[in-house]
Structure 1
């Protein structure tokens, strides 16, 4: 049996509420992501998909259950170890690009590599290669404000891939784009993921985009179900 890139096992998460009391967001959510697999996570707003992605990517902790990345149980790690594991093994893409405005496109891709101890020359070469893969080799010296929305999100894809992570987690990665640009940019993302053999869990409201992935999972009432 091949090693799973990601296993979420019976994940629970409850947040302290206000007048209405605690809010149980995740109630035993479980899923597995195989190596090289691209899986869509479909859920209505407020269903807990962002919480699940944050737990999967070690940005948040669960109240119960296990998070296993590349065969290693990450559940009990301390903050420092979780940060180190996240830098090495997880790439994130959000609905908004969150690029640093004072840096160029290439520099935005170099920075996470430098934070991970990669030499500057190596980081720059990696950034140039990734920009070429998404058709932006001529835009590397442009700052985010000089790029279109679709270009900014493609740079964000490259930044997420900068440290060659084991898994990619994306939360509505094209949700801030118009339909035409969304379709084009999603195609670029899929090509990038397929070319690198990455495993990806992509949350989306767009059922047409979800249908282009290997599998579709639905988050309902805090648990994972197949549509």
Structure 2
């Protein structure tokens, strides 16, 4: 199976049937092959986060299909969706959401333990990932002792800890200054390329988007290739 993600004719609206009904997705479709990095661009409020939440099995469409690694999970039960999120998907948000009481290393170890990885192997994987983003020396620091850019790089490592097939990122550098954003984005792309990961990355930064394999625009509820 060469496809990591297929979204097929997604429809999504809020306040359905009411006077203030808002339609966010109108037949949105995409296919992401294995190893491809796709930028998702659109104005604020256009539905980028909604699309990512549906792709990440955190929300459900009103109609259409969500297929991850060849498995149609559109109508799957919560337990199956949870397993797929844990094993096949990695998430990065604008804010790092690291657990403040744990060190950088522990934040990366914990999702692996939840997935059944032995602690020694989980710690080795965490150390490997931190080294890849230049934070090996910061493994024992808690998030409060890290800079914003360092916190986000740890969040990237956590998202990749269980070796997902697909990374979903929602404005991963949107909370950083331009210089830090460049450093963090470069670290993310190095991680993605080194692991052969597929990724769907929402960003408002067109310069960063242009460095990915494809750029899709969310326009009037549909996905179109940017020219």
The one-character-per-residue Cα deviations of 1:9-52 (angstroms, maximum 9, x if unpaired) are: 00111111798422111111001111100010001000001000
Q: Which residue of 1 aligns with 2:2?
A: 3
The one-character-per-residue Cα deviations of 1:139-181 (angstroms, maximum 9, x if unpaired) are: 0000000000000000000000011001000000000000011
**Whole-angstrom CA distance in 2 between matches of 1:108 and 1:49:** 27
The residue matched to 2:137 in structure 1 has which SS? coil
Please report the RMSD computed on the Cα atoms of aligned residues, expressed in angstroms. 1.2
**Whole-angstrom CA distance in 1 between matches of 2:101 and 2:17:** 39
**Whole-angstrom CA distance in 1 between matches of 2:19 and 2:164:** 40
Q: Which residue of 2 aligns with 1:195?
A: 194
User: CA 1:68–1:18 in 2, change beyond 3 Å: closer, same or farther?
Assistant: closer
The residue matched to 2:4 in structure 1 has which SS? strand
Return the offset for 1:79. 0.7
**Whole-angstrom CA distance in 2 between matches of 1:61 and 1:162:** 25
1:101 and 2:100 aligned: yes
Q: Which residue of 2 aligns with 1:37?
A: 36
**Whole-angstrom CA distance in 2 between matches of 1:130 and 1:107:** 12
Q: Which residue of 2 aligns with 1:169?
A: 168
Gaps of 5+ in 1: none
TM-score between both structures, scaled by the size of structure 2: 0.97
1:132 and 2:131 aligned: yes
Q: Which residue of 1 aligns with 2:68?
A: 69
**Whole-angstrom CA distance in 1 between matches of 2:164 and 2:199:** 10
**Whole-angstrom CA distance in 2 between matches of 1:20 and 1:130:** 50
Gaps of 5+ in 2: none
- Equivalent runs, 1:206-225 vs 2, <5 Å: 206-225=205-224
1:22 and 2:21 aligned: yes
**Whole-angstrom CA distance in 1 between matches of 2:118 and 2:124:** 10
The one-character-per-residue Cα deviations of 1:37-93 (angstroms, maximum 9, x if unpaired) are: 001000100000100001001111111101111111111210111001110000000
The residue matched to 2:189 in structure 1 has which SS? helix
